[in-house]
Structure 1
Amino acid sequence: MSAFRMYLRVVSESLQPEEISSRLGTGPDEATAIGSRRRPQSPPRAHANWIRQVSAANGPGRPEDLEPMVLGWGPEFAAALGRLAGSGGADVSLVVVQELTDPEDPRQKGIFLGAPLLAWLAEAGASLDIDQYVYCDCDDQRATATPASSA
């Protein structure tokens, strides 16, 4: 399992997912509509979510492994996102989720984003959202044991 996941999220309080898809010229991997409910007893959603997952051809990886996928969506898609964000009709963000399970694993540490990806995000009018979760035992097992008594 990779320590990182990445996805592009478009959130709108006024546009339904179908309208977002129409403006972007492509559909999402997943979406939720304004007024939909998570469960029947939940209040209606006040905004729509339009999400496109980022995955590398060789499976999950680090952010720098996932970067080519986003860049592969092309400058036209970035420009369409930028127009949508610039219109005030939606907020666009690239979400990087980091789940740290082994503090000693160097592949789980650090987030590197290259200049080409940052330029693509700027063209898309997108913010960067980094969510970090640490799942590890809080006991420091590396501490040196102190003897209870000495002879």
Structure 2
Amino acid sequence: MINSERTRTAALVVVSHVLSVDDISDLVGCGPDRSRSKGSVRSGAVVPIPAKETSWELCEQADRSVPLSNLLDRLSEKVLPLRGSFVGLVDAGCAFKLTLVQWISEADPSGPGFWLDADLLKFLAEVGASVDVDQYVV
């Protein structure tokens, strides 16, 4: 089991102020790994603030023994075959971001780095995605 507080994560997040999770799933042709509907409140939230937008994501997670680059490769295998559908979401007003979370320690077997291949970079540029990298040293 993965310790959710110390996982490595690579996720493509689609955000919409207009489309629902179901709408995005229909346009993409598959369901999300995680999602949050506009107006919903996160379970366990200390302050119950409703989401301002819908978020839909495909994600790969693993413990710290798995290099972040491996997660990016697996995410690419999910995302790139759906490239045309995601580009269509841009026309529907959706925004995209690549979210990366990496926990790092001196004992880390794979080191603190990661790499993005050319196909993934081209896709991210096509959809105008931002990149959010959170790295934590433990």
Per the TM superposition, whether the score is higher than 0.5 is yes
For 1:31-51, what per-residue CA distance to the aligned partner results, in whole angstroms no more than 9, with x for missing partners? 111111225971322111112
Taking a change above 3 Å as real, the CA distance of residues 55 and 105 of structure 1, as seen in their structure-2 partners, is closer
- Calculate the aligned-residue CA RMSD, in Å: 2.8
Question: Residue 90 of structure 2 aligns with which residue?
Answer: 85
Query: What's the % identity of the aligned pairs?
Result: 32
Q: 1:52 corresponds to which letter in structure 2?
A: L
Residue 20 of structure 1 pairs with residue 24 of structure 2: yes
TM-score normalised to structure 2 length: 0.76
> Paired residue for 2:74?
69
2:37 is aligned with 1:33? yes
Q: Which amino acid aligns with 1:44?
A: P
Q: Secondary structure at the match of 1:9?
A: strand
Structure 2 unaligned blocks of 5 or more: none
Q: Runs ≥4 in structure 1, deviation > 6 angstroms? A: none
Q: Would you say 1:122 and 2:125 are equivalent positions?
A: yes
Larger radius of gyration: 1
CA contact (8 A) 2:11 2:75 kept: no
TM-score, normalised to structure 1, is 0.71
Number of equivalences: 131
Deviations 1:27-83 (A, max 9, x none): 101211111122597132211111211258xxx722321233233236441221122
